[in-house]
Amino acid sequence: MILSCQNINKTFIDNHLLKDVSFHINDYDKAALIGINGCGKTTLLRIIMGEMNADDGLVTFAKDKTVGYLPQNALLNSTKTIYDEILSVKQPLIDLEERLRDMEASMNLVTGDELTSLMDKYTNASARFEREGGLTYKSEIIGVLKGLGFEQEDFSREISTLSGGQKTRVALGKLLITKPDLIILDEPTNHLDMNAIMWLENYLLNYKGTVFIVSHDRYFLDKIVNKVFELENGKMTTFTGNYTDYATKKEILRIAALNAYRNNQREIKHQEEVIKKLRSFNREKSIKRAESREKMLNKMERVDKPLDEADSMHLTLMPRFESGNDVLTVTGLAKSFDNNHLFHDVNFFIQKGEHIAIIGDNGTGKSTLLKIINDVIQADAGTIKTGTNVAIGYYDQEHHILNDSKSIFDEISDDYPTLTNTEIRNVLAAFLFTGEDVYKLIGSLSGGEKGRVLLAKLMLSQANFLILDEPTNHLDITSKEILEDALNNYTGTVLYVSHDRYFINRTASRIMDLTQDGFVNYLGNYDYYLEKKAELSPANDTGSVSAATLHSTSGLTATSAANRSSAATNENEGKLDWKAQKEMQAAARKRENEINKLEALIEKLETRDKEIDELMASPEICNVSAKLMELQTEKDQIAEKLMDAMERWEELA
């Protein structure tokens, strides 16, 4: 066990944020902490790191273990360059390397025993240098920086010239290079593009230490974690497995909790009715019986009401009228800012009912494209034509279309003057703005709150063509799921930019990958995109399929020269694909069975480990040294088995 939290409590005024929070993280765990915005995730991390005091409770780290922590906005204040800032982590190795050079020079100046002694010191220092990564640390730094999205020409940039997001990326790189035994990350994907997120996934997945992550990126969590801690109503619940496993188990528990609450409420109501009836008899015996039942009722355990739909945002998207079949046609679109050429000759069209996700590297112009379509900025060249009866609803990730000087209430009432005060309040209540909250100024709201205001306006617009720029930014997982369900039930057309791969996977029917040369289209969700991307990559490497070949001006499918092969070749390839598919399915089933067995074993071992902890703390055993030694031996064996099982699980997952 590398980290243990026991009975952590924290209250702010009248908000009991953390209630007896207890959990532990074992060596080599990849664990996630999730929960809705404001539930106390960051507060708990700050308590763990000693940046904030808990009201009660104990945080314990294993001895001789190093801990690295990256807060959400880790702003570095440094006069160094990006490369030098990262390099500073390796200063002990640099010093050791200098000592080795000094010893090499001294060897030419001494003889005899002195030389022998110096050579022995050199051999030991050289072995240590190699053991601690002295031969590879420079390439390792370059690999991490490039993985996090920095180009070679960025390495010499001073930290002081970087944006907040870039500084956070440098801080993340610095932490990764440090290689602590336990890495604690608070929303590490916030400032990363897709390529950087995928790189970080693989890095953390293969990391030899322990990882503890707060994140709303469900795809990221699915890939990495083997344990999920959920904070809900101040209490902590532990789930074994990745995010998908958590979601499945959570739904089962939710239904069970709801049934338990309903049964509890039914019993309470029944007893109250019986008591009322007995009192109505107005006889001595009946009154005594009523009082007896009342005492029993007061002693009855009350089941807390689980979170339900009433506690979450409500979002229904419904177009006021249908558009024509041709929704949008874009021809020859180009845009540059000074010498920065974002894209040129972009061509695509969108038909009614399509749900299209635009992806691409940072800086390719995705948000700019949406702004051009919405007439926020002008294109350098090209034409944009909307179809018949197309009504656009626009979600701006920078929230520029909101007026910071207005209240939430006025923001809605000014745009929708026909709505009554009651109707406006009902709409805002559906987006969790109640009471005096509706009179808060837009400028004082958090990013998540502004996002909810925009979603409320989007719903009221009843548009048949939604254009969304990073709509899941600042939303917690619950709100993301609500938005996903609303879009999947929406009968209109959707075009959006997003880095949220889980969101894309659930909502997109087509993916358009934006490059400088135009769009590469994939007719499917994100999983399909990854599959086709993997298939096309080898061909692209050999030059047999070019970006121009893949580009489709019709905007319907990704095409390649291979599509024009003969019918006979296609038939043979189909047979091979079928056989390969069957083999893959069999392998997948075998893998899934082994994963299930491993997860069952891990759960069994963790349960026994917890039982041993309780036994060792019990009064009957805590003073019996022989029994304690026996239990400790069993604990050590369990730890070894857990490590082996988790390592095998990591290989398979």
Model confidence pLDDT, tens digit, residues 613-622:
888 888 888 7
DSSP class of residue 54 equals -
Q: Could you tell me if 189 and 197 are in contact, meaning their C-beta atoms sit under 8 angstroms apart?
A: yes
Which residue from 179, 181, 132 is spatially nearest to 28, judged by alpha carbons?
181
> Which range is most confident: 9-13, 165-169, 304-308, 595-599?
9-13
d(CA 405, CA 411): 9
Q: Reply yes or no on whether the pLDDT at 551 is more than 70.
A: no
DSSP string for 264-291: HHHHHHHHHHHHHHHHHH--HHHHHHHH
d(CA 510, CA 557): 8
Residues 6+ apart with CB under 8 A from 3: 24, 25, 48, 59, 60, 61, 62, 182, 210, 212
DSSP string for 145-201: HHHTT--GGGTTSBGGGS-HHHHHHHHHHHHHHH--SEEEEESTTTT--HHHHHHHH
Count each helix (H run) and each strand (E run) in the chain, helices first.
Answer: 20, 18
**In this structure, which amino acid lies at residue 216?**
H
* The predicted structure's pLDDT at residue 542: 39
Percent of the chain with pLDDT over 70: 91
Round the average pLDDT of the chain to a whole number and report it: 86
DSSP class of residue 446 equals -
* The predicted structure's pLDDT at residue 562: 36
Helix or strand holding residue 567 (H, E)? helix 567-617
Structure tokens at 462: 């009843």
Quickly tell me which residue has 């990730």 as its tokens. 397
| Choice between 612 and 3, residue whose per-residue pLDDT is larger | 3
* The predicted structure's pLDDT at residue 208: 93
Residues 6+ apart with CB under 8 A from 34: 41, 214, 215, 216, 221, 228, 229, 230, 231, 243, 246, 477
Residue 138 burial (CB < 10 Å; 0-12/13-18/19+)? middle
d(CA 237, CA 87): 40
Q: Could you tell me if 258 and 311 are in contact, meaning their C-beta atoms sit under 8 angstroms apart?
A: no
Q: Helix (H, G, I), strand (E, B), or coil: what is residue 327?
A: strand
Model confidence pLDDT, tens digit, residues 50-100:
999 999 999 999 999 999 999 987 778 888 999 999 999 999 999 999 999
Structure tokens at 363: 């800086």
Which residue from 439, 442, 440, 437 is spatially nearest to 404, judged by alpha carbons?
442
Quickly tell me which residue has 């934006």 as its tokens. 514
d(CA 506, CA 522): 15
Average pLDDT over residues 117-131: 93
| Choice between 5 and 629, residue whose per-residue pLDDT is larger | 5
Q: Could you tell me if 118 and 107 are in contact, meaning their C-beta atoms sit under 8 angstroms apart?
A: yes
Q: Could you tell me if 441 and 453 are in contact, meaning their C-beta atoms sit under 8 angstroms apart?
A: no
Which residue from 221, 210, 222, 305 is spatially nearest to 262, judged by alpha carbons?
305
Which range (5-14, 346-355, 609-618) has the least confidence? 609-618
Angle at 398 between CA 199 and CA 461, to 5 degrees: 120
* The predicted structure's pLDDT at residue 538: 53
d(CA 594, CA 317): 43
Q: Using pLDDT thresholds of 50, 70 and 90, give the confidence band for residue 578.
A: low
Quickly tell me which residue has 């795809």 as its tokens. 219
Q: Could you tell me if 442 and 402 are in contact, meaning their C-beta atoms sit under 8 angstroms apart?
A: yes
| Choice between 476 and 546, residue whose per-residue pLDDT is larger | 476
Please tell me the chain's helix, strand, coil percentages from 3-state DSSP, rounded to the nearest 5.
50, 20, 30
Any bridge partners for residue 68, and if so which? 183
Q: Could you tell me if 495 and 358 are in contact, meaning their C-beta atoms sit under 8 angstroms apart?
A: yes
Instruction: Calculate the dihedral angle through the C-alpha atoms of 442, 401, 416, 425, rounding to the nearest 10 degrees.
Output: -30
* The predicted structure's pLDDT at residue 560: 36
Q: Could you tell me if 154 and 173 are in contact, meaning their C-beta atoms sit under 8 angstroms apart?
A: no
Structure tokens at 52: 């904030």
Average pLDDT over residues 97-116: 91
Q: Reply yes or no on whether the pLDDT at 132 is more than 70.
A: yes
Residues 6+ apart with CB under 8 A from 390: 323, 324, 327, 328, 464, 465
Q: Reply yes or no on whether the pLDDT at 544 is more than 60.
A: no
Structure tokens at 51: 């940046």
Model confidence pLDDT, tens digit, residues 479-512:
898 899 999 999 999 999 999 999 999 999 999 9
Average pLDDT over residues 189-204: 90
**In this structure, which amino acid lies at residue 153?**
E
Model confidence pLDDT, tens digit, residues 232-276:
889 999 999 999 999 999 888 888 888 888 999 998 998 888 888
d(CA 388, CA 351): 11
* The predicted structure's pLDDT at residue 577: 64
DSSP string for 84-110: HHHHGGGHHHHHHHHHHHHHHHHTTT-
Average pLDDT over residues 550-577: 42
d(CA 90, CA 387): 59
d(CA 471, CA 457): 13
**In this structure, which amino acid lies at residue 591?**
R
Which residue from 559, 647, 564, 565 is spatially nearest to 601, judged by alpha carbons?
647
> Which range is most confident: 169-178, 189-198, 568-577?
169-178
Q: Reply yes or no on whether the pLDDT at 309 is more than 60.
A: no
Quickly tell me which residue has 């707060």 as its tokens. 214
Q: How many residues make up the chain in this entry? A: 653
Q: Using pLDDT thresholds of 50, 70 and 90, give the confidence band for residue 563.
A: very low
φ/ψ (deg, to 5) at 289? -65, -35
d(CA 128, CA 352): 65
| Choice between 595 and 308, residue whose per-residue pLDDT is larger | 595
Q: Reply yes or no on whether the pLDDT at 34 is more than 60.
A: yes
First to last CA, the chain: 22
* The predicted structure's pLDDT at residue 536: 73
CA distances from 619 to 7, 57, 157, 442, 631 (A): 20, 21, 61, 58, 15
Q: Using pLDDT thresholds of 50, 70 and 90, give the confidence band for residue 537.
A: low
